[in-house]
Amino acid sequence: MKKTLLILLLLISSIGTMVGCSNQKTASGTPEESTGSEKDSDYPNKPIKLIVSFAAGGGTDLGARLLGPHLEKELGVPVVIENKPGSGGWIGYKELLDAEPDGYTIGYLNTPGLMTGYLNPSTQRKENLDSFDYIANHVLDAGVIAIRADEDRFSTIEELIEYAKKKNVTSTTNGVASGNHFAALQLNETLGTKFKPVHFDGTAEALTGVLGGHVDVLVAKAGEVLEAEKEGQMKVIGVMMEERVPQFPDVPTLKETVGEVLNYSSRGIGAPKGLDPVVLEKLQTAADKAMNNPEHIKKMEELGLNIEVIKGEDYKAMLKEEEQSAKDLQHLMGW
């Protein structure tokens, strides 16, 4: 009888120990199976919002809408694109940064406006590149210089630069501190030209200004002038990249001809700082596969948009280089 009772007590003790182990908690007091990365192992399980900080119909919006279906396929949930234009992109960036860092709100980051939006002291913004987590760069859009097809004062980049060293030449921009505004300032500082920036609200309006003879030169991105060049309205005469671009293989770079002036815009996807590493890795992997999808690449090429996938910290490092380039031009803006 005593022996049976002892065995029974030992069994009860063993069962209690096993139950206690199965309910073991972390230091925070929550069960182990519901903490940290394990909690996010089922991500995503609801729609993801992708903020585009510019109006519908622009280059960023078109690229996002071409990418969206492929992202949905890789992530297994709807990707809902929301346009939040204004303040050089900073209405959208602010909404992105105010969102919960849970992976359900992500957004496009466009340069150089992302940097100039906080480098300009008048904005008094405290946010910077360290305020984001980085998923992947999507597009590198080369800066180009174009003239009217019937322009008779200059027909090559060499002739334009020589002309602009002697006389004032008006050139388009998409606003103060935009990429093409910086391009004009870079040309003047590097080559001794006299380009006078004329600010427009967008490339469509700027193109109309050049075609109407109100402005001398169009400074834009390759994808923005491709259609006008195909239609014979405009002639692209210079590319502001290290190498020639696929859209205009016969057009020389400025580096080849008149002197090194680099100007381009990057467009990539980021998130508010603080994403769980498991969530961030899933987003990076999905973006990489979606951006490199052959069907997506083909459609982007038809729009004149060059895909350049750079993930995570490498993407951030590229943005740091762009930020330094913007800082180098601050004195030209009086900042």
Which residue segments constitute the domains of the chain, with CATH numbers given?
48-141+265-333 (3.40.190.150), 142-257 (3.40.190.10)
Residue 306 dihedral angles phi and psi, to the nearest 5° = -90, 115
Q: Is 142 exposed, middle or buried (CB count within 10 Å of its CB: 0-12, 13-18, 19+)? A: buried
* Confidence band of 33 (pLDDT split at 50, 70, 90): very low
pLDDT for the residue 87: 85
Mean pLDDT over residues 243-249, rounded? 92
- 64-105: pLDDT as tens digits: 999 999 999 999 999 999 999 888 889 999 999 999 999 999
Structure token pair of residue 148: 């009217």
249 pLDDT higher than 50: yes
pLDDT for the residue 20: 45
106 pLDDT higher than 80: yes
Contact 188, 194 (CB under 8 A): yes
Q: One-letter amino acid identity for 241?
A: M
pLDDT for the residue 328: 86
pLDDT for the residue 76: 97
198 pLDDT higher than 60: yes
Mean pLDDT over residues 313-333, rounded? 91
- 305-316: pLDDT as tens digits: 889 999 999 999
250 pLDDT higher than 80: yes
pLDDT for the residue 4: 45
26 pLDDT higher than 60: no
Q: Which of 17-31, 151-165, 168-182, 276-290 has the lowest mean pLDDT?
A: 17-31
Mean pLDDT in the chain?
A: 88
Q: Of all residues in the chain, what percent carry a pLDDT higher than 90?
A: 69
Mean pLDDT over residues 243-257, rounded? 95
Cα–Cα dist 148/232, whole Å: 9
* Confidence band of 139 (pLDDT split at 50, 70, 90): very high
Cα–Cα dist 146/219, whole Å: 6
What is the SS3 string spanning the chain?
CHHHHHHHHHHHHHHHHHHHHHCCECCCCCEHHHCHHHHCCCCCCCCEEEEECCCCCCHHHHHHHHHHHHHHHHHCCCEEEEECCCHHHHHHHHHHHHCCCCCCEEEEEECCHHHHHHHCHHHCCCCCHHHEEEEEEEEEEEEEEEEECCCCCCCCHHHHHHHHHHCCEEEEECCCCCHHHHHHHHHHHHHCCCEEEEECCCHHHHHHHHHCCCCCEEEEEHHHHHHHHHCCCEEEEEECCCCCCCCCCCCCEHHHHCCCCCCEEEEEEEEECCCCHHHHHHHHHHHHHHHCCHHHHHHHHHCCCCEEEEEHHHHHHHHHHHHHHHHHCHHHHCC
pLDDT for the residue 56: 84
Cα–Cα dist 240/117, whole Å: 23
* Confidence band of 38 (pLDDT split at 50, 70, 90): low
pLDDT for the residue 24: 43
